[in-house]
């Protein structure tokens, strides 16, 4: 059996290689005047790639050292056993196939000493096979730091094999191809990151001794469901909604009753429909092709689009007040909204009569009698939004399950490389339970980092 999400804490304690990221856009940092002396002023920033070798390691000195390296495009620095990566926000041409070869054991017995994300991957791979023990690489950092990009680079390294494999590389291609689907359904534009992961992802990869991904398994957790029904200013909902609305053919638009993004209550709150440097229609085609590659049947894909349309339309099922049974603001639906609800339910493949009853009434069973009492408009809205969020979450879980069916091994893994790409710390104007859970998870990881660094220092 795979470990449960709650067991991840244990996995964290067993890590051997760790990656830590900082945000490249440095914020002003205030320090006391007595800390401002740059005690590392005469060091060769290229000659010292590890913070541990600095003569002075106070906070100001370390930050200045990282800044100085960043200005020279040296975005990786170690704090052994951690790797700190600062986001360059531009292509430094340092992660392509040639760079993989520079660091890969099969092509480079003596890899460069300069820290790199590929150095971490190489160490994990070597330890995986020489100790016959699973390795986990934790990618942590605030939102927009570059965790997901780093995870993709790590996967590219693990997928590399020097000699064309004779065996079947379809699984490896499928593992890599899962990314566009996961990002379409689990990522969104936020004010910090145009492609922010709104879920945690733990990937388990079986990697051959010479490299190459043989099997994989994706474990998703803590999807930010509230984004489906509520958006902050300048933020978007999940990419896939905009991809469907802009990329669907005219006939699909008609069949699914698709509207413009600004006609959906769930999307128009933020006033933001476009994502910079993103072509939603082109991405829709990529996601469609990826579904095909991953063996999703055409009827399954059509059902996915239909459910997405139904979820969006649910937000437009608005209630009106009526006084009944002593409730002054009891929720009710006009005939027009009832028709809309039944259209939604058709798209969602559920019974509209049952849904209407669940939206509008509290049901209690007394003895063998079912008693229904009307609910207020605000309670009916909560019922409706809860359904939209739960449906989206179930859809996401089902997609991950189907992806896993394509990439998982016939019997459970013996040893794996784990890659943890979680959402970064975040503080919004309105923070929900989801932000609390996200930040607690980050705090736990931070604690693990500190313990690992200090146990190394004191050892």
Ligand X SMILES: Nc1ncnc2c1ncn2[C@@H]1O[C@H](COP(=O)(O)OP(=O)(O)OP(=O)(O)O)[C@@H](O)[C@H]1O
Closest residue (Cβ) to ligand X? 146
Is there a catalytic annotation at residue 133?
A: no
Marked catalytic residue, from 40, 86, 87, 193: 193
- What are the residue ranges of helices labelled H in 197-334? 239-247, 250-255, 265-268, 280-293, 298-314
Marked catalytic residue, from 183, 224, 235, 426: 426
The interface region with ligand X, picked from 30-38, 98-106, 139-147, 324-332 by CB under 6 A, is 139-147
Which of these, 219, 218, 236, lies nearest to 227 by C-alpha position? 236
Q: Which residues contact 407 (CB under 8 A, 6 or more apart)?
A: 171, 174, 175, 178, 215, 216, 217, 218
Is there a catalytic annotation at residue 143?
A: yes
Distance CA 345, CA 250 (A): 22
Is there a catalytic annotation at residue 426?
A: yes
Is there a catalytic annotation at residue 237?
A: no
Angle at 320 between CA 315 and CA 321, to 5 degrees: 140
Q: Which does 140 bind (CB under 5 to 8 A by kind): Mg ion, ligand X, none?
A: none
Q: Which phi and psi angles does 319 have, rounded to 5°?
A: -100, 155
Task: Between 137 and 347, name the residue whose CB sits nearer to Mg ion.
Answer: 137
Q: Which does 132 bind (CB under 5 to 8 A by kind): ligand X, Mg ion, none?
A: none
Task: Between 89 and 131, name the residue whose CB sits nearer to ligand X.
Answer: 89
Cα atoms in the 13 Å half-sphere on the side-chain side of 160: 25
Distance CA 134, CA 128 (A): 6
CB of 408 to ligand X, least distance (A): 24
**What binding mask, one character per residue, do residues 398-437 give for ligand X by CB under 6 A, x or -?**
-------------------------xx-------------
CB of 442 to Mg ion, least distance (A): 13
CB of 429 to Mg ion, least distance (A): 21
Q: Which does 146 bind (CB under 5 to 8 A by kind): ligand X, Mg ion, none?
A: ligand X
Is there a catalytic annotation at residue 193?
A: yes
For residue 431, what are the CA distances in angstroms to 425, 426, 458? Answer: 12, 9, 38
Marked catalytic residue, from 78, 196, 309, 442: 196
Task: Between 87 and 229, name the residue whose CB sits nearer to ligand X.
Answer: 87
Neighbours of 371 (CB within 10 A): 11
Q: Which does 144 bind (CB under 5 to 8 A by kind): Mg ion, ligand X, none?
A: ligand X
Identify the residue among 40, 77, 86, 87 touching ligand X (CB under 6 A): 87
Question: Judged by CB under 6 A, how many residues of this single chain contact ligand X?
Answer: 19
Distance CA 113, CA 19 (A): 17
Marked catalytic residue, from 86, 141, 144, 310: 144
Is there a catalytic annotation at residue 346?
A: no
- Residues of span 316-345 touching ligand X by CB under 6 A: none
Neighbours of 407 (CB within 10 A): 25
The interface region with ligand X, picked from 137-145, 250-258, 311-319, 329-337 by CB under 6 A, is 137-145
Two tokens, residue 51 = 């913070």
The interface region with ligand X, picked from 46-54, 195-203, 298-306, 375-383 by CB under 6 A, is 195-203
Cα atoms in the 13 Å half-sphere on the side-chain side of 82: 25
CB of 420 to ligand X, least distance (A): 12
Distance CA 231, CA 235 (A): 6
First-to-last alpha carbon distance for the chain, in angstroms, is: 34
Contact status: 119 vs ligand X (CB under 6 A): no
CB of 183 to Mg ion, least distance (A): 9
Binding-site ranges for Mg ion (CB under 5 A): 147-148, 197
Contact status: 89 vs ligand X (CB under 6 A): yes
- Residues of span 140-169 touching ligand X by CB under 6 A: 141, 143-149
Distance CA 427, CA 136 (A): 28
Exposed/middle/buried for residue 252 (C-beta within 10 Å: 0-12, 13-18, 19+):
middle
CB of 5 to Mg ion, least distance (A): 18
Distance CA 161, CA 48 (A): 31
- Residues of span 196-225 touching ligand X by CB under 6 A: 196-197
- Residues of span 301-320 touching ligand X by CB under 6 A: none
Is there a catalytic annotation at residue 144?
A: yes
Task: Between 139 and 340, name the residue whose CB sits nearer to ligand X.
Answer: 139
For residue 311, what are the CA distances in angstroms to 23, 79, 239, 316, 398? Answer: 35, 46, 14, 10, 16
Which of these, 257, 261, 227, 231, lies nearest to 243 by C-alpha position? 261
Is there a catalytic annotation at residue 383?
A: no
Which residues bind to ligand X, rule: CB under 6 A?
87-91, 141, 143-149, 193, 195-197, 423-424
Residues annotated as part of the active site: 143-144, 148, 193, 196-197, 424, 426
């Amino acid at each position: 059996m795979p470990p449960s999400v709650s067991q991840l804490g244990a996995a964290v304690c067993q890590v051997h290689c760790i990656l830590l990221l900082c945000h490249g856009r440095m914020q002003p940092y205030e320090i006391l005047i007595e800390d401002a002396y740059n005690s590392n002023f005469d060091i060769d920033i290229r000659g010292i790639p590890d913070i541990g070798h600095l003569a002075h390691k106070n906070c100001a000195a370390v930050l200045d050292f990282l800044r100085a390296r960043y200005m020279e495009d040296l975005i990786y620095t170690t704090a052994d056993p951690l790797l700190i990566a600062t986001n360059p926000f531009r292509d430094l041409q340092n992660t392509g196939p040639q760079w993989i070869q520079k660091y890969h054991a099969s092509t480079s017995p003596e890899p460069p000493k300069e820290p790199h994300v590929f150095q971490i991957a190489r160490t994990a791979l070597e330890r995986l096979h020489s100790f016959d023990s699973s390795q986990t690489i934790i990618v942590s950092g605030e939102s927009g730091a570059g965790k997901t990009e780093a995870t993709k680079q790590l996967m590219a390294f693990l997928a590399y094999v020097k000699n064309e494999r004779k065996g079947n590389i379809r699984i490896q291609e499928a593992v890599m191809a899962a990314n566009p689907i996961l990002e379409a359904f689990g990522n969104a534009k936020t004010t910090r990151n145009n492609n922010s992961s709104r879920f945690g992802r733990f990937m388990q990869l079986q990697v051959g001794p010479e490299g190459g991904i043989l099997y994989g398994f994706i474990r998703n957790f803590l999807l930010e469901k509230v984004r489906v029904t509520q958006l902050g200013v300048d933020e978007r909902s999940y990419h896939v909604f905009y991809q469907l609305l802009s990329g669907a053919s005219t006939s699909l638009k008609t069949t699914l009753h698709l509207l413009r993004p600004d006609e959906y209550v769930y999307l128009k709150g933020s006033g933001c429909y476009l994502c910079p440097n993103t072509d939603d229609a082109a991405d829709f085609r990529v996601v469609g092709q990826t579904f095909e590659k991953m063996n999703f049947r055409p009827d399954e894909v059509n059902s996915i689009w239909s459910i997405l349309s139904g979820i969006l339309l649910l937000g437009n099922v608005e209630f009106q007040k009526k006084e009944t049974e002593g409730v002054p603001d009891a929720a009710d639906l006009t005939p027009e909204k009832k028709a809309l609800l039944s259209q939604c339910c058709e798209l969602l493949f559920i019974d509209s009569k049952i849904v209407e009853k669940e939206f509008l009434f509290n049901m209690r069973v007394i003895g063998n009698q079912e008693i229904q009492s009307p609910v207020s408009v605000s309670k009916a809205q909560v019922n409706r939004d809860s359904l939209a969020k739960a449906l989206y979450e179930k859809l996401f879980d089902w997609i991950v399950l189907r992806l896993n069916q394509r990439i998982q091994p016939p019997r459970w893994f013996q040893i794996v490389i784990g890659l943890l790409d979680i959402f970064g710390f975040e503080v919004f104007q309105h923070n929900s339970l989801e932000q609390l859970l996200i930040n607690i998870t980050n705090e736990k990881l931070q604690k693990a980092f500190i313990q690992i660094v200090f146990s190394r220092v004191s050892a």
